[in-house]
Amino acid sequence: MAKTGNITTEMKHVHITLTTKLFLIVFLFSTSSFVSINTFSQAQIVSNDLRKHKLILINPGHGGHDSGAIGSSGLSEKDLTLTLAKRLKQILTQTYDVYLTREGDYWLAIERRTALANHHRCDILVNLHASGSFHHTARGIAVFYFGYNAGQGLYIQHRKDLIQSEHRLLPWKHVQSTHTNQSKLLANLVHTKLIESANSTDRGIHKAPLSVLSGAGMPAILIEIGYVSHPTEERNLRNPEVISDLARLITEGINEYFRQMSGCIKSEDMIEENMGTGRGAAW
């Protein structure tokens, strides 16, 4: 037994290790906390190296009292996204470990959905939504990742926060900004698969300050799979074969993302986009 004041190197190592783990637990599992950019990247690397399977969280939008958009024949966004999420999980679980934020028709707060992804330390977060419009000609698929458009007041404040955070702790609400490049890559790959094969109108890839993305401590995207307010798209989205095709295409995009990321340099060597460092992007 080591005496007080005569701590061995091994004891020091144990003490530092335990302290580091406690530090990471406090910041990784609290959505109201701050996070050190460097510490978070290191935690992700350790997690990914030790884990044999990638973890994916699928979040079907709305639920419970919140039906989301509703089509003229009664197809609700909450039911559509849940149906697609379950089919997507069936396909993805052949390769990955997959969680759903909800398995039934009930409501979860947006912050709770993102917190689940952080709690499970998932590798990616995929949010599923549909669209609705008073203009019944509106149709098509769009994919979103987190970001602000230059010139917006929110963008200016966001960028100021990131610049000030370069040498101190980053507010958790901005943590998604440390994954901008990966989120954009994931959005591009999923979007490409969907548009190439889904025979749907291309509404593009967009960056937007969506709440469900902002607190995610991993690459995250939101997919709008079509307009339930468009009669033809609503009818198509009721078809189980169409749902299966969408799930397959999203899976192909995710597979390609992990394939490309497996050949990338490690997270601590990457230069992130929009970090306010002026160093540019790694890709």
pLDDT above 50 for 251 = yes
3-state secondary structure the chain: CCCCCCCCHHHHHHHHHHHHHHHHHHHHCCCCCEECHHHHHHHHHHHHHHCCCCEEEEEECCECCECCCECCCCCEHHHHHHHHHHHHHHHHCCCCEEEECCCCCCCCCHHHHHHHHHHCCCCEEEEEEEECCCCCCCCCEEEEEECCCCCCHHHHHHHHHHHHHHHCCEEHHHHHHHHHHHHHHHHHHHHHHHHHHCCCCEEEEEEECCHHHHCCCCCEEEEEEEECCCHHHHHHHCCHHHHHHHHHHHHHHHHHHHHHHCCCCCHHHCCCCCCCCCCCCCC
pLDDT in tens, 31-74: 444 443 333 333 344 344 444 589 999 999 999 999 999 999 99
Confidence of residue 171 (pLDDT cuts 50, 70, 90): low
Confidence of residue 81 (pLDDT cuts 50, 70, 90): very high
pLDDT-wise least confident of 119-128, 157-166, 205-214, 253-262: 157-166
What is the model's pLDDT at position 173? 62
pLDDT in tens, 209-236: 898 898 899 999 999 999 999 999 999 9
pTM over 0.75: no
Residue 175: what residue type?
V
Instruction: Give the strands of the sheet with 55-60, arranged side by side.
Output: 97-100, 55-60, 124-131, 220-227, 141-146, 202-208
What is the model's pLDDT at position 174? 65
Q: Which two tokens stand for residue 3?
A: 């005496």
State the average pLDDT over residues 245-260. 96
Percent of the chain at pLDDT above 70?
65
pLDDT in tens, 262-273: 876 443 333 333
What is the model's pLDDT at position 191? 97
Q: Which two tokens stand for residue 221?
A: 């995207």
pLDDT in tens, 124-161: 999 999 999 988 889 999 999 998 875 544 443 444 44
Fold annotation for 36-269: Aminopeptidase (3.40.630)
Confidence of residue 194 (pLDDT cuts 50, 70, 90): very high
pLDDT in tens, 87-101: 999 999 999 999 999
